[in-house]
């Protein structure tokens, strides 16, 4: 009987290119893990995510994007189409993974773990919409679950606090 993974770092997922990546490659980094979509009202958040990534990557921060088509069919493209869209429209350079489910019986293990660690409003695990964000500290602990309406740029102070930059206040999200 296979045991449940204990940390995010024991999981892996394929990139848009199909190459499998172990999340252990991101050990010691602050992570913002996001379920994304190319045809959503929140899609412009790709720009803010890329800005965060470029601002903090050298200090130990990564954004991990996971496209999902479970909300209104707003991510209908193939992995190749998703990659071209993200690069062409938002200059996305952070890791983008293959399309996954974030709810239901086929929920990807990464999102199973994230949702168990940080429940949503009213204690539910279910993700309500695209661009739900999970903030993970350097030790792999999920320290925040952030709704789609919170823009990536609003997260700068929380990311800085987790990275130990300046006097950014508390790390609670």
Structural domains in the chain, sorted by start: 8-163 (3.40.30.10)
Q: Which residue has the higher pLDDT, 3 or 38?
A: 38
Percent of the chain with pLDDT over 70: 90
Mean pLDDT to the nearest integer, 70-79: 95
CA–CA separation, 114 vs 141, rounded Å?
A: 9
Q: 13, 32, 40, 98: which is the annotated catalytic residue?
A: 40
CA–CA separation, 42 vs 12, rounded Å?
A: 26
Cβ atoms of 132 and 34 within 8 Å: the answer is yes
Residue 2: pLDDT band (50, 70, 90) is low
Neighbours of 153 (CB within 10 A): 13
Would the pLDDT of 157 be above 60? yes
Task: Write down the pLDDT at residue 172.
Answer: 44
Q: Which residue has the higher pLDDT, 62 or 171?
A: 62
CA–CA separation, 9 vs 23, rounded Å?
A: 5
Q: pTM here?
A: 0.91
Task: Tell me, yes or no, if 86 is annotated catalytic.
Answer: no
């Amino acid at each position: 009987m296979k045991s449940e993974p204990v940390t995010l770092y024991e999981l892996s997922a394929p990139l848009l290119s199909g190459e499998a990546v172990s999340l252990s490659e991101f050990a010691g980094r602050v992570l913002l893990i996001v379920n994304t979509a190319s045809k959503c009202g929140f899609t412009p958040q790709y720009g803010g995510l890329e800005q965060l990534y470029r601002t903090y990557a050298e200090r130990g921060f990564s954004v991990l994007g996971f496209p999902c088509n479970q909300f209104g069919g707003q991510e209908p493209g193939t992995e190749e189409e998703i990659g071209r869209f993200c690069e062409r429209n938002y200059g996305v350079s952070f890791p983008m993974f293959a399309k996954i489910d974030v709810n239901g019986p086929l929920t990807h293990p990464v999102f199973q773990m994230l949702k168990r660690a940080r429940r949503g409003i009213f204690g539910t695990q279910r993700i309500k919409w695209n661009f739900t964000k999970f903030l993970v500290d350097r030790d792999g602990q999920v320290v925040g679950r952030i709704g789609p309406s919170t823009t990536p740029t609003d997260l700068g102070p929380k990311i800085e606090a987790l990275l130990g930059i300046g006097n950014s206040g508390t790390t609670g999200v």
